[in-house]
A and B are shown apart, each in its own frame.
Chain A
Amino acid sequence: MIDWLIEPFQQPFNQRAVLAALLIGLTNGYMSAFVVLRKSALKVGSLSHALLPGIAVAILVAGLHDWSVFLGSLFAALLIGLGSLAVSRGSRLDQDSALAILYTAAFSGGIILLRRIGVAQEMQEWLFGNIMGLRNSDLWTNFWISCGALGVLTALHRPLLMTLFDAEVAATLGVPVRALNYLLLAVLIVVLISSLQAVGCMLALGLLVTPAATVYLLTDSTNALFWGGSLLGGLAAACAVLVGWWFNIEQGPAIVLVLGAVFLVVFLFGPKYGLLRRLGSRG
């Protein structure tokens, strides 16, 4: 029994996976507060799917490297994001519809392309993540991305929060609203790409919404939302990697499933905004 419990801590690839899950969960959890406050979960979902064709084209053009995957994803996300804006401005469609058309088409293209260029066995990893396959260098990349993202977001916390609360009022107080929105999008894309290894582009949205959404049902404090979401994301991701090892479940889905389970408990039994509490106070 004890052996079974400590087994995952003895394997280097497991130690790396737990550490990476912690880092990725912390960063994504912090970022999820922005996604929840902006009510932009749908857009982020399309963005995460849009990464796949970018990765495919990057591998095709420049081969499989960290930097090519990164640049490809970035380029695809920008193209789909700006493209949807152009389509919605140039037609009578709203931006959400335009986004849905573009990202599903691009995603399909990505799948077909990835199958053809000989990395089909890795398709599963791009879609659902493979945190057990991390190298030391990946861990360092994740570490620096986490430091950079959290550093920028906490440093600009005051103007970012004003922008989220009321962009027009923020602008009349001298906050550079447009620049901050672009910055937030850029950080979001970087964080999204860093989470691909853990949960893949199909499940990345879960890690970028559920943590803060769960904490949102528990608190009215902004700081608690950001750091609580961060803590929940990190702990849940790290625990899920262990649970995955013990019960032989794929780690990517396990992370999102653990987060979903925590959300369900809070949704039902939360002391402040839980469903039972609300039904109780109504009856």
Chain B
Amino acid sequence: MVYPTHESCAHCGHHHELSVEDLRVRYRDVDALQDVSFATSCGACVALIGPNGAGKSTLLKAVAGLLPIAAGRILWRGTKVAKWSREIAYLPQRENVDWHFPITVRGVVRMGRYPQAGWWRPFSPTDEAAIERAIALMGLADLANRQISHLSGGQQQRVFLARALAQEAHVLLLDEPFTGLDRNSKSSLAATLRNLTEEGRLVIAAHHDMDNVRDIYDEVLLLHRRAIAFGPVAEVFTDAGLEATFGVPPEQGKEVA
């Protein structure tokens, strides 16, 4: 199979695969996830779809290295994901963030350079350039000095994306990025995610809104504690697949809660 080449993969010289094998994650005594296996690669935009409590956030956190794995393994470029990696960025749900925290847009984006700068070291010109480039790419240049509560939902999501870009992350893990956004912000965020994907990044997002799945994503993982199905949108995102995931056929055009 011939893989397309991407500019943002050039530094590693080969194709990048994320593979999850027989993953099991336990919360206290309950299996939050079991027997989850799928493999995807950079240049793909993947939707995680399933009911509340299906383990979408858990899977994202496991890939980000935040949770202990009870069984199975997660490989990125052939090696097990560690507790943290500069190449993997985790973007939390907006509602879990303290937006009144006294920090500016630029302050949040600067956090992305922590792996390079460490505990004390002042940011190098390279770091500063990466920060400003990320801010500009996400269209936040005019808002860079604003406190983060004075932003719209779409702009807040872009701040997190800018931090991931400053980090030079290759895998972007987003938890419900479209929740609470208005129509315009949704379509503009969708376009941004498409761009980031086409530049060669791997985008994985937990997703609620059944309406726009086909417009945004290449692949879908149907999830309900275990992997129900994984594959290209056209093959997996079907009425039968959704019924197997949600128990009842969800009405198209409605948000599935």
- Is A221's beta carbon under 8 Å from chain B? yes
CB within 8 Å of A: which B107-138 residues: 107-108, 111-112, 114-115, 117, 119-120
Selecting from B19-27, B81-89, B217-225, the interface stretch reads: B81-89
Which of B91, B107, B114 meets A159, CB within 8 Å?
Answer: B114
- Chain A neighbourhood of B61, CB < 8 A: 168
Beta-carbon nearest neighbor of B120 in chain A? A155
Tell me if B's interface is mostly helix, strand, loop or mixed. Answer: loop
Give how many B residues have a beta carbon under 8 Å from the other chain's beta carbons.
31
- Is B37's beta carbon under 8 Å from chain A? no
- Is B65's beta carbon under 8 Å from chain A? yes
Which of A165, A169, A170, A175 meets B101, CB within 8 Å?
Answer: A165
Tell me if A's interface is mostly helix, strand, loop or mixed. Answer: helix
Which of B84, B97, B102 meets A173, CB within 8 Å?
Answer: B84
Measured CA separation A225–B120 after assembly (Å)? 20
Give how many A residues have a beta carbon under 8 Å from the other chain's beta carbons.
25
List 25 A-B residue pairs with CB atoms under 8 Å apart, sorted by A's residue number: A37-B102, A155-B119, A159-B114, A164-B101, A165-B98, A165-B108, A165-B111, A168-B61, A168-B66, A169-B92, A170-B111, A171-B65, A171-B66, A171-B84, A172-B66, A172-B84, A172-B85, A172-B88, A173-B84, A173-B167, A174-B86, A216-B102, A220-B103, A220-B104, A224-B102
Measured CA separation A228–B83 after assembly (Å)? 36
- Chain B neighbourhood of A220, CB < 8 A: 102-104, 147
Q: Across the interface, do A173 and B104 meet the contact criterion of CB distance under 8 Å?
A: no
- Chain B neighbourhood of A3, CB < 8 A: none
- Is A97's beta carbon under 8 Å from chain B? no
- Is A66's beta carbon under 8 Å from chain B? no
Which of A156, A168, A171, A173 meets B111, CB within 8 Å?
Answer: A173
> In the complex where A171-B66, A220-B147 touch, is A165 in contact with B103 (Cβ < 8 A)?
yes
Beta-carbon nearest neighbor of A36 in chain B? B102
A199-220 vs B, Cβ < 8 Å mask (1 yes, 0 no): 0000000000000000010011
A-B complex: 5 closest residue pairs judged by Cβ atoms: A220-B147, A172-B90, A174-B84, A173-B114, A172-B64
Q: Across the interface, do B112 and A173 meet the contact criterion of CB distance under 8 Å?
A: yes
CB within 8 Å of A: which B48-92 residues: 61, 64-66, 83-86, 88-92
Q: Across the interface, do A222 and B103 meet the contact criterion of CB distance under 8 Å?
A: yes
Chain A nearest Cβ from B106, distance in angstroms: 12
- Chain A neighbourhood of B85, CB < 8 A: 172
Q: Across the interface, do A169 and B102 meet the contact criterion of CB distance under 8 Å?
A: no
- Chain A neighbourhood of B66, CB < 8 A: 168, 171-172
Q: Across the interface, do A168 and B102 meet the contact criterion of CB distance under 8 Å?
A: no
Measured CA separation A156–B85 after assembly (Å)? 21
CB within 8 Å of B: which A37-95 residues: 37
Which one of A156, A158, A219 has the highest number of Cβ atoms from chain B below 10 Å of its Cβ?
A158
Q: Across the interface, do A169 and B119 meet the contact criterion of CB distance under 8 Å?
A: no
Beta-carbon nearest neighbor of A273 in chain B? B100
Chain A nearest Cβ from B77, distance in angstroms: 17
Chain B nearest Cβ from A194, distance in angstroms: 25
> In the complex where A158-B119, A159-B119 touch, is A168 in contact with B114 (Cβ < 8 A)?
no
Beta-carbon nearest neighbor of B167 in chain A? A173
> In the complex where A168-B61, A168-B66, A222-B103 touch, is A174 in contact with B114 (Cβ < 8 A)?
yes
Beta-carbon nearest neighbor of A221 in chain B? B102
CB within 8 Å of B: which A120-174 residues: 155-156, 158-159, 161-162, 164-166, 168-174
- Chain A neighbourhood of B88, CB < 8 A: 172
Chain B nearest Cβ from A60, distance in angstroms: 40
- Chain B neighbourhood of A170, CB < 8 A: 111
Beta-carbon nearest neighbor of B108 in chain A? A165
